[in-house]
Amino acid sequence: MHHRCLLLAASALVASLAVPGAAAETVTTAREGSPSSATVYPRSHFDTYAPSTALDIVSRVPGFSIDFGSDRRGFDGTGGNVLIDGGRPASKSGGLREALERIPADSVERVELITNPTMAAASGQTLIVNVVLGSATRAGTWRTGLERNRDGTVTPSAKVSLTTPLLGWRVASSVELYTSDDPNDGVRTRRDATGSLLLVEQEARETDYTMLAWSAEATRDVAGGELKLNARLGSDALQSLTNRLGFAGPVPGSVPSQLRIDSYEEDAVNGEAGVSYGIAWDSGWRSDTLTLARWSLSDELSGSMRSSPPGVFASGVRAASGRDSFEWIGRSVVAASEGRAWRPEIGVEVAYNRLDATLDFSELGAGGVITPIPLPSANVVVDEWRYETFANVSSEVWKGWILDAGLAFEASNIAVRGGAQQSQSLQFLKPSVSLAWRPLEKLSVRAGLRREVGQLDFDGFAASANTGSDRTLGGNPELRPDSATRASLDVDYRIEGGIALNLAAFHAWKKDVQEAVILDPGGPGVSPVYGFGNAGKATTWGATLTAASPLPFGFNVDASLSWVDAAFDDPITGQTRRLNGVTPFSYSLELRQELPEDDLSWGVRVSNDGVETSYFVPETSQFDYGVDASVYVKATLSPKLTATLSVGNVREFRLDREFYDPTRAGTLTQVENRQWDRGPDIGLSLEGRF
């Protein structure tokens, strides 16, 4: 409750202290031939922040929160809320973030904050940003940094981006290397149902991560339209080692009774290639066509070894898994230009997805004996062909009132082969309608109702094993996507002086939600199998409030507050609870000050991602992300060189687990509490433009 009071007080402070003349000059105007309006920020508006990339610029648009989109299968609904020259990036793997980071700030001519947009690429959204690029000139950025963790280990990172004309093409490319070393220390306590102490573990974890990625996009005019080519190659490597020294009694005062070592390794390589072509016809229509393919090869190896007393082997488990995936998408859209009274849009999308999953799970016994543990759907191949046709129409039906309506039909064929054999054909009709109203130049309201269909996570078809948490899940070849009827309300208000307020609320009625279920009850001598399945209906609702405002003395404040809740009738316990993964409350608050006369800026950010509860068949797990605090100081050393010193990742995590027998409807047997902290991490980076 005190967090809520703090944020409400901060919002009131923003409104009372805002300086009407503090914002840089902008222009708000109705868009020609469109009922939407745009606030135009010239590139010079952001000079105070010394931006290096287009992402730095978009991050400073007042009252705008970037949505980078989702990594759903297919292309529709994955693009986020930022356009580049009026279109979405024709890429998925790097997505919007990578596309914006590739563009040097010097290549940006202006930024348009569009309210109630009517362009086809932004259908159904209340607020978007369109980044307008200037003429094709050579520009680039570079960044290098060092980060020191609390143990004194220093890890480097570097990135170079370049935009340049080349043989008639406008080419944007980037290369990035990122490394991190993350040490965590904590305590894990396990008690029985009566509260009696069973085990205390002193935990020390070391996690190393390395990422290397190259991406590029080439654009040129061809036959009156714009042709884009994009490509990406990347690799990720993660290694984690955890030592858990256990005591049967209080610490200090007891001698170690056991030692457990958990290890995890993951190596992945991925790539993407795509082509898109867009052209505006003299008839007032525009067509956009794209095709792209992406792939990923991932191998994971995890294990857990326990010795009791330390040095004397007791037991162990090992899991080796592979996930090889491939996706191909073809999409074509034809839409009317914004100058028409009625702006129809029609399109079709075809997608193919494939997952080849393997899992070798085994138990290690005394004398080196290895005993395989079979799991349902441990080795499966999943194929899906998905087809979607859609039509949308947008129009200003009355002065200041904009109607958006759409209808889509989706059909898919899914086949599961290997350890499980299953095929299914699915069809969904997805209508949508929204009505936007702009009663004032600075106020816009949008209400909508739509049917949504979730995209299946193919990993749910295959078995998995988490040796660190002692949790195994069987694969379920009968999974269906969930669906929902979602009502939404968005209100955006811009006040003179740069104050921006936005409220987004929703209420959704879901069916076929995916929750932990009993896949096989087992029997005498046979353990039950748990996994995820379609478990029934649920209702979810929530709201997000964002606010931004300039304050006296060069200060600016940004605040965000989110609240989400859900109601689901648990088939295991018969009780009503939240859905898996719902975080009821989260917030962020950032205060920064620009000191242009001293070529300095600084800021502090406090956030809390809330508490997330997960429900498994014999267990509940509650993860508290804790309060994260960070501070930075940025100095402009020259017109094209900046240095940033930051301190962050100062937070404490908590994980509480409750275990039941045989399920959560049964008897509480044990409770485990785990607390660990991280940080502070100290970073020093240099950024330059050329």
For 511-570, write each residue's pLDDT tens digit. Answer: 999 999 999 998 887 889 999 999 999 999 999 999 999 999 989 999 999 999 999 999
Q: Average pLDDT, whole number, for the chain?
A: 88
Highest mean pLDDT among 236-245, 410-419, 492-501: 236-245
Domain that holds residue 82: 2-689
Q: If pLDDT is split at 50, 70 and 90, which confidence band does 9 have?
A: very low
Helix (H) or strand (E) holding 101: helix 95-102
CB 50, CB 636: distance < 8 Å: yes
Reply yes or no: is the peptide bond before residue 104 cis, omega within 30 of 0: no
CATH number of the structural domain spanning residue 680: 2.40.170.20
Output the CA torsion sign for 157, 163, 167, 168.
positive
Confidence of residue 91 (pLDDT cuts 50, 70, 90): confident
Checking DSSP bridges between strand 585-595 and strand 611-616, what pairing results, if any? unpaired
Q: 536 to each of 277, 377, 571, 579, how far by Cα in Å?
A: 42, 23, 8, 11
Of all residues in the chain, the percent with pLDDT exceeding 70 is 91
What is the number of structural domains in the chain?
1
Q: What is the pLDDT of residues 144-163, one digit of tens each?
A: 999 999 899 999 999 999 99
**pTM higher than 0.75:** yes
Question: Among the listed ranges 37-41, 283-287, 442-446, which one has the minimum average pLDDT value?
Answer: 37-41
Q: Where are the beta strands (DSSP E) in 341-421?
A: 342-364, 370-372, 380-398, 401-418
Give the pair of three-digit tokens for residue 638: 């020259």
Rounded CA-CA distance 647/651 in Å is 12
